Amino acid sequence: MVCNIRPSVEKTIMEIKPNEISVNDTVNFDDLTTLRGDGNAFSRQFVDRRAPLRIPLISQLPVAAFCCDIQGAVVSHNEAAAEIWGRVPNPSEIGQWSGAHAMFDLDGHCLARKDYPSAQAVAAGRNLDAVEMWLERPDGTRRRIESHPKLARGSGGVVAGALCVLVDNTERQRLADELQRADDDRSAFLSLLAHELRNPLSPILSAAAVMKRVSTDAQIVKMANVVERQVKLLSRFVGDLLDASNLAENGISLRIKPVLLSKVVDTALDALSEKAESRAQHIGVNFEARDKTVVCDPERVSQALANVLLNASEFTDNGGSIALRIKVDGALMEAEVEDSGIGIAPEQIAMIFRPYTQFATHKDRLRAGAGLGLAIAKDICEKHGGLITATSDGTGQGSRFRLILPIVCAQD
């Protein structure tokens, strides 16, 4: 039998003979392999199989552990287990199946002693998978623990009780809860901020349009154009913030309808044109099957493609090049965006689609945006049943993004 004991910080793997785990806290084993907390180096001790080593099992384990006999008395435990329990159990008290004062499932329901993991393993006559639960101590405090129940056998392989390893996940859960609360608070704040910012944008844009229409002063018209451009940029940023709050909840919603693929792509290119022109960047477009019909949310697919194109422009030199290739293969529409920009380091590829992720911007420009564009593009692609990927040959070698969406109409 192989017993795998896998706590969160240390892992111990023991190859144990079936009749050699006993409830007297002693084990004969041939091979002990320990993986220390750094997760890298293995330390292996080989013992002559002709002369098995006998050591006190429970006290030697680097994790909290205890052993029950067939009647549920906690006949052995180590100090780490007692620390989790907050007490020392009476080894002569049968039917306990744990040193815990009380145990609860994750929904808060109090468990009967017969439902404790060690009791369940003995009743089932087999090793059970790990289970998480709440453990209550005598002072009323609770610990979130992960219990690993394994059978303990006596001579002849007869079940003599259970060996249980405990992993205390309380601190890990506390940190996870704090992180979730912080994330929820951030999403709520950004959603509120976006709504408050959006309200004055339309009047400002309307005022700029009126100024352009009624004024004959070239300087005023020029300033109105500046206001108009900046308001459009701010509107896009506000939209990203609202989309980000949706990502944190149920994701972006879609409004599906049939539309020409050319309209979807042209809308994305329009979003890029002004920025690319201001930086003298060359945009090359290879677009097959412009007359194809796609069934999608056209605004969202255009947004996803525009986000990738704008990202390419942001990280490409003035005078650099951006290539967009669109092709159709059956029901699949594939869009590839390739740029001659600063590239992506290998360690950044896996993180590039995470919300609020920003790496070093181009040396000639200040940090722009909130790091949401690619995360939003990813969610839009996945909501359409597709995917988005990023590749790069490394820093300074440009990057390539592929969007693959199963949205092309079959009749076309």
pLDDT value of position 4: 37
In this structure, what token pair is assigned to residue 184? 């929820």
Tell me: the pLDDT tens digits for 150-163? Answer: 998 887 888 999 99
Q: Average pLDDT in the 320-333 region?
A: 94
Q: At what angle do helices 261-278 and 298-314 cross, to 10 degrees?
A: 30
pLDDT value of position 51: 31
Q: Average pLDDT in the 274-295 region?
A: 91
- Angstrom distance (rounded) from CA 83 to CA 81: 5
pLDDT value of position 172: 94
CATH number of 257-405: 3.30.565.10
In this structure, what token pair is assigned to residue 367? 């940090």
The answer on pLDDT for 330 being more than 50 is yes
Supply the DSSP symbol for 261: H
Tell me: the pLDDT tens digits for 224-247? Answer: 888 887 887 788 778 777 777 776
Superfamily of structural domain 2-168: PAS domain (3.30.450.20)
pLDDT value of position 46: 29
Q: How does DSSP assign 326-384, residue by residue? A: EEEETTEEEEEEEE-SS---GGGGGGTTSTT------TTS---S-S-HHHHHHHHHHHT
Q: Average pLDDT in the 135-162 region?
A: 92
The rounded percent of the chain whose pLDDT value lies above 90 is 53
Identity of the residue numbered 107: D
The answer on pLDDT for 382 being more than 60 is yes
pLDDT value of position 5: 35
Tell me: the pLDDT tens digits for 118-127? Answer: 999 999 999 9
Please state, rounded to an integer, the average pLDDT across all residues of the chain.
81
pLDDT value of position 284: 95
Strands (E), 299-397: 321-329, 332-339, 387-391
Identity of the residue numbered 67: C
The answer on pLDDT for 248 being more than 80 is no
The answer on pLDDT for 85 being more than 70 is yes
Domain ranges for the chain, please list them.
2-168, 185-248, 257-405
Q: Average pLDDT in the 167-173 region?
A: 95
